[in-house]
Structure 1
């Protein structure tokens, strides 16, 4: 399958990237290739390889794929797919396999505030990585701007609404392109082991302010009706979305409504040497997806 093809020669480290086709993984892979890394792109099929990379078969739910994908790898970018809810069964074995394979650095995409929220899956993964003694870096980003171009795209495009139950709470959004740039730096450079970086943009916005920016950039009204949790859940239930997923989303926006998602940190700017991408710039760059 993926490992049958010789890997491209590179001067940098050999890195396995999970979640390589996602909003963080895709730009991360591009940065790593540009930085000279030898990149293995992990996927269930083991057939998707962007230019300059090698595809390998890797399935969180199939332990037999772990050791072959990790053989000879020096560094791993580890991302928990949303579908992987049982981290004890499907994610912690990957950490064990990485340690057994001699991986010398795991960069884990975690969650802002995870150290204060022990019930989220990311907290369990962080604890296990620490207990396993694997050299690591924890990236703890805030809310992805890209949620607005994926999860909430239909409401914005079809209904002219930013329909989330966040009240008037502020949120420190971050563009996943900035997360990818930070991730690449921590993988390509030495000296990030044992660090945890809290990644946010440079401002905390209410969803009313975000709707106003959408209105300005798109040139048409985008409202923020500030729905309650029940109205929000009812709309998503009508779309045949699983109740468990609706509950997770409602919980996330309850955190926003309570004013607990507005922390702004300097880590992103310090690591990238520039200001983070702004919400206005994000909307401008993705304008076509809401038109």
Structure 2
């Protein structure tokens, strides 16, 4: 009997179930998943605590895509544990400090926890923040020629499911990355080779990029965070490859070529 077939249906609450990682975690879990979001059948809204209790009731594990406010996560974790949840898997981010308040919320929960710290997502190029620029053929970022080991979100989802459903991951913080560090010009050239459409890359000032994000509706906090992370890439501080995928899954992470072959660009 497989691990997933032994799990009760509807027993793993997946927050952010319509997002890039959440919907893939949901698909991998199958009947064991209870997908939740503002638009899912199981409604969950960080801004509406009245939705939390019904969403978590009867579940034993939660895949946590956190809100912007760590105080909300603290309140939710307390409620989840009181409701009988015994395992939490948090989607964090590369470079999060050990005293990160979001991570502290799950680490101090009193139940089993696992923290995932992935790099930037490859799917950002066709599903999220970078997609409009790729489509328009004009890509402007404050990242220079710095390199970064982008990760395929499929790998994140598989690691998350392992931590949600198998023993041996309690108390672990996994740094997750792709297998190779590439620059934005390199990645855009590979995308262009697949699509046949050129994408021009420009290195711009950080303040200009932050203003662009604000104009797109991003909050000041998120706009500044994204800009800061790109500045780290420019400075060469984000080039290192992590081994978390291999540790958990026993294989190398997917390459950028693997991603392109299964993306909307193919």
| CA apart distance, 1:126 | 1.0
Local SS of the residue matching 2:138: coil
1:177 maps onto 2:154 in alignment? yes
Q: Which residue of 1 aligns with 2:18?
A: 21
Deviations 1:112-135 (A, max 9, x none): 12136x5xxxx2021122223221
CA distance in 2, matches of 1:85, 1:237: 16
Partner of 1:56 in structure 2? Answer: 42
Matched, 1:85 2:68: yes
User: Does structure 2 retain, via aligned residues, the 8 Å contact 1:15–1:75?
Assistant: yes
Unaligned stretches of 5+ residues in structure 2: none
2:36 to 21, 31, 42: 42
1:95 equivalenced with 2:72 (yes/no): no
Correspondence for 1:152: 130
User: CA, structure 1 residues 239+190, in 2 after alignment: closer, same or farther (shift >3 Å)?
Assistant: closer
CA distance in 2, matches of 1:27, 1:140: 17
The answer on 1:197 being equivalent to 2:180 is no
Deviations 1:198-243 (A, max 9, x none): 1100011111211221232222322222222234345445556554
> In the aligned structure 2, how far is the partner of 1:189 from the partner of 1:223?
45
Which consecutive segments of 4 or more residues in structure 1 shift more than 6 A?
none
- In the alignment, the residues of structure 1 paired with residue 261 and residue 63 of structure 2 have an alpha-carbon distance, to the nearest angstrom, of 29
> Over residues 1-57 of structure 1, what are the superposed CA-to-partner deviations in whole Å (9 max), with x where a residue is unaligned?
xxxxxxxxx631411110111110111111111xxx522122235xx3xxxxxx423
Structure 2: how far apart are the matches of 1:240 and 1:106? 31
TM-score, structure 2 length as denominator?
0.88
Alignment of 1:57-136 (within 5 A): 57-80=43-66, 84-88=67-71, 90-115=72-97, 118=99, 123-136=100-113
**Secondary structure of 1:261 counterpart:** coil
Q: Rate the CA distance shift 1:234–1:75 in 2: closer, same or farther, 3 A.
A: closer
For structure 1, which segment, 261-270 or 97-106, has the greater mean C-alpha deviation from structure 2 after superposition?
261-270
Aligned in 2, Cα 1:92/1:287: closer, same or farther, shift over 3 Å?
A: same
Q: Distance in 1 between matches of 2:53 and 2:214?
A: 40
Q: CA RMSD in A?
A: 2.2
Q: Point out where structure 1 has 5 or more consecutive residues left out of the alignment.
A: 1-9, 49-54
Give the Cα–Cα distance (whole angstroms) in 1 for the partners of residues 262 and 166 of structure 2: 29
* Counterpart Cα distance in 2 of 1:67 and 1:287: 37
Going from structure 1 to structure 2, the CA distance change for 1:162 and 1:59 (only over 3 Å counts) comes to same
Kept after mapping to 2: 8 A contact 1:172/1:263: yes
- 1:18·1:77 contact (CA, 8 Å) conserved in 2? yes
Q: In the comparison of the two structures, how many residue pairs are matched?
A: 259
Over 3 Å counting, the alpha-carbon distance change for 1:259 and 1:30 in structure 2 is: same
Task: Output the TM-score relative to the length of structure 1.
Answer: 0.81
Offset, 1:274: 2.8
